[in-house]
Structure 1
Amino acid sequence: MALLDESASGVFVIGVTPFTDDGALDLDSTDRVVDFYLERGATGLTVLGMMGEAPKLTAEESRIFVRRVLARVGGRVPVVVGVSAPGFAPMRELAETVMDDGAAGVMVAPPASLRTDDQIYNYYEMVAETLGAATPFVLQDFPLATGVQIAPSVIQRIVKAIPSCVMLKHEDWPGLAKIAALRAASDRGEMRRISILVGNGGVLLPEELSRGADGAMTGFAYPEMMVDVWRAHAAGDIERAHDLFDAYLPLARYEQQPGLGLAIRKYVLARRGAIASATLRKPGGKLSQADIADIERLIARQERRLSELG
């Protein structure tokens, strides 16, 4: 598998980690959900992300799970692995393992302790040193989860100084102006142009694409939404992209509920046959019968609207 680079585009689906009803890793469902994502047009996969329940896995489980994903993908698309960790020793250990196994790159989010621009820059300098120049990495910019605000000027500084930073996972919110600022900086030759893939469940995807994003790196129970919106936008059919997005938006919005979002996503993925069980490893949210009724209503309305759009 080729290594991740600045040209990456499309939809890198953030994959769920399937568990059995009793909370054990479900490797058969891991194969099934990988097939599900690829059949729906994913151009890449990202595993052990925040919505992949990575903190709930042991180090050995993480290695087993990533190896299973990589084996099932079989080099068809690049796989990025989240290696964020409290310290650099476990980050290095996991990164070396997954890269040796065939990952295309790794993703690192900043720790919540970072407060100043210099602290953020110095941290990513140490990340690059820890990973080594041969390991490309994704800078995950998710202030709502990490509490770390990274200004466009800091991202520019990191990109200019650290060649192994090849992608920004943009999850700032509001953040459309940040995408535009980074694209303007690279257009002016002030920084290297890197790939920008967006998160937050894709709920601003059409607007983010119009501001210069190259695609999405996030999860949703209907990953084909992101793929079809990206393809329509890339073909210049902006109205079609918005029409498709609008059909899925009510469910995407519902899935963005803090604390329940992953439970909703896994419920729908199980309903669609992508995984055998909707189980989250504890601690995790749990759906009520009223929640499930909401989801079923939203899916029925979504299906009617998609039928109308053809």
Structure 2
Amino acid sequence: MSLENGFLKGIIPPLVTPLLGRDELDTEGLEKLVEHILAGGVHGLFVLGTTGEAPGLSYRLRQEIISRTCRQVAGRVPVVVGITDTSFAESANLARFSADSAASAVVLAPPYYFPAGQPELLEYIEHLVPELPLPLVLYNMPSHTKLVFEPDTVRKAMDIPEVIGLKDSSANMVYFHRLQLFLKERPDFTLLVGPEELLGETVLLGGHGGVCGGANLFPRLYVRLYEAAVAGDRTRVEELHELVMQISSTIYSVGHYGSSFLKGIKCALALEGICSDFMAEPFHRFNAPEKARISEYLDKFNPIINSQCC
């Protein structure tokens, strides 16, 4: 499915990468996961994002998950693919492979190692776009890349027609609102939020959707929250937002390290019988005590979410 009038909106889960080993995809788990997410009514899928552990995967495995996901989705929703890399050539190569696999767009965060200046970052985008056969969504992820797509850089990038949007994972609402000011000049530009804890308020205030990791697990919850925000139903937004916050403060917070969010989602998916919870090195899956806590949270949330989001 191509983007509707070149526009991307709604709930676009950053797909977890189900693994059986260091370089082995859990193909059965991937199939179950994709169908589970699509059954929740989502508006797209984002492959090889942060939640997909993309930097920890081999190029061979990245290509496998792109081809398998696009083939299975078969045009039911747009598939967008993360092409972030420290190598310009590898980003372009993955974009071409994504286009050949029938993806709809590609997503790019700043190259992460040597911090670039903003003029260098803009020039990088200007040089890369002609090499890309698909529209480009920028990805602001300063906690992982050490760089911010500064508002002025985004404004200049918006002059490039092939740059169709930005996903912001900074959790900085002032930054998000500054970008919204530019939409008057380019109303076809998509603004998506990464942290699901901010989904309701950003959509109420004019954002276009969210790339919510929790939608791997509870896709219908995030779709219902998005729909309520689009409709301006603040009472419903508050009810569903409270559920999102409870998930964030429990399932995502079981471990002790920065990887706890992803470990929690993968552990929950495994407990639900959807896919393996194997993690890309240097991370590892939760042990029995953590799994027991995640199981308790699932027992608590599943009935509530099923009753409120059916």
TM-score by length of 1: 0.89
Instruction: Check the 8 A contact 2:166/2:190 in 1, yes or no.
Output: yes
Task: Give unpaired runs (5+ residues) of structure 2.
Answer: none
Residue 296 in 1 paired to residue 290 in 2? no
Residue 155 in 1 paired to residue 160 in 2? no
Give 1:4 shift.
Answer: 7.0
Q: Which amino acid aligns with 1:215?
A: G
Q: Which residue of 2 aligns with 1:91?
A: 91
How far apart in 2 are the matches of 1:243 and 1:28? 35
How far apart in 2 are the matches of 1:246 and 1:63? 37
Q: Which residue of 2 aligns with 1:135?
A: 134
How far apart in 2 are the matches of 1:13 and 1:38? 10
Give 1:292 shift.
Answer: 2.7
How far apart in 2 are the matches of 1:139 and 1:4? 18
Q: Which amino acid aligns with 1:103?
A: A
How far apart in 1 are the matches of 2:22 and 2:180? 46
Within-5 A mapping of 1:99-110: 99-110=99-110
Residue 120 in 1 paired to residue 121 in 2? yes
Instruction: Check the 8 A contact 2:204/2:232 in 1, yes or no.
Output: no
Within-5 A mapping of 1:163-182: 163-173=161-171, 175-182=172-179
What is the RMSD of the two structures over their aligned residues, measured on CA atoms? 2.2
Give 1:142 shift.
Answer: 0.7
Give 1:55 shift.
Answer: 2.4
How far apart in 2 are the matches of 1:51 and 1:309? 26
Q: Evaluate the alpha carbon distance shift between residue 306 and residue 72 of structure 1 in structure 2; reply closer, same or farther with a 3 A threshold.
A: closer
Residue 228 in 1 paired to residue 224 in 2? yes
Within-5 A mapping of 1:248-263: 248-254=244-250, 255=252, 258-263=258-263
How far apart in 2 are the matches of 1:63 and 1:308? 38
Deviations 1:255-308 (A, max 9, x none): 166122211101111222321x21113221432444234323333333464477
Residue 207 in 1 paired to residue 205 in 2? no
Give 4+ residue runs of structure 1 displaced > 3 Å after superposition: 3-6, 303-310
Q: Which amino acid aligns with 1:105?
A: A
Instruction: Check the 8 A contact 1:3/1:136 in 2, yes or no.
Output: no
Within-5 A mapping of 1:12-23: 12-20=12-20
Give 1:213 shift.
Answer: 1.3
Q: Evaluate the alpha carbon distance shift between residue 301 and residue 27 of structure 1 in structure 2; reply closer, same or farther with a 3 A threshold.
A: closer
Instruction: Check the 8 A contact 1:5/1:166 in 2, yes or no.
Output: no
Give 1:27 shift.
Answer: 1.2
Q: Which amino acid aligns with 2:249?
A: R
How far apart in 2 are the matches of 1:308 and 1:60? 41
Deviations 1:39-86 (A, max 9, x none): 011110011112212223222222122111111101100000111111
Deviations 1:112-144 (A, max 9, x none): 33343212211211221332xx42011000111
Q: Secondary structure at the match of 1:14?
A: coil
How far apart in 2 are the matches of 1:300 and 1:271? 11
TM-score by length of 2: 0.89
Give 1:248 shift.
Answer: 3.1
The number of residue pairs the alignment matches comes to 302
Q: Which residue of 1 aligns with 2:111?
A: 111
Q: Which residue of 2 aligns with 1:197?
A: 192
Q: Which residue of 2 aligns with 1:43?
A: 43
How far apart in 1 are the matches of 2:22 and 2:153? 44
Give 1:224 shift.
Answer: 2.1
Give 1:210 shift.
Answer: 2.2
Q: Secondary structure at the match of 2:192?
A: strand
Q: 1:238 aligns with which of 219, 234, 238?
A: 234
Give 1:179 shift.
Answer: 2.2
Q: Evaluate the alpha carbon distance shift between residue 4 and residue 284 of structure 1 in structure 2; reply closer, same or farther with a 3 A threshold.
A: farther
Instruction: Check the 8 A contact 1:79/1:105 in 2, yes or no.
Output: yes
Deviations 1:134-170 (A, max 9, x none): 420110001111110222222111112x111101011
Q: Secondary structure at the match of 2:107?
A: strand
